[in-house]
Amino acid sequence: MCRLVEGKVTLVHRRLWPALARLERRFSREQLAQIHQEHTPSGKHVNRIVEFPDWVPKGVRAASRRLSAEEAERVLAPVPACARRR
């Protein structure tokens, strides 16, 4: 999960991670930070943030380097334009 679209919590399928990593400069660090929602003993929800690229597995990083920018763009084409940093 991250705040990819309009600052809202967004579930991002693992198969999209290499394309996001390849095009990371098109997104803000806040958009790409991973969110872990945890329940506290009192019942509250707490978000734990893992900064980008700290959460990106080595295999995903390697896969992102094998993608061209054009291939990554095709993979992310369904992602709304509002998600991209302007």
Reported as a single tens digit per residue, the pLDDT across 17-61 is 999 999 999 999 999 999 999 999 999 999 999 999 999 999 999
Distance CA 63, CA 1 (A): 20
Cβ neighbours, 10 Å, residue 57: 12
Residue 86 has pLDDT above 60, yes or no: no
Q: What is the pLDDT of residue 83?
A: 63
φ/ψ (deg, to 5) at 12: -120, 120
Residues 6+ apart with CB under 8 A from 79: 4, 5, 16
E strands, 1-86, in order: 2-5, 8-10, 34-39, 45-50
Whole-prediction pTM value?
0.82
pLDDT of residue 78: 79
Q: Has residue 63 got a pLDDT over 90?
A: yes
Under the banding of pLDDT at 50, 70 and 90, the label for residue 5 is confident
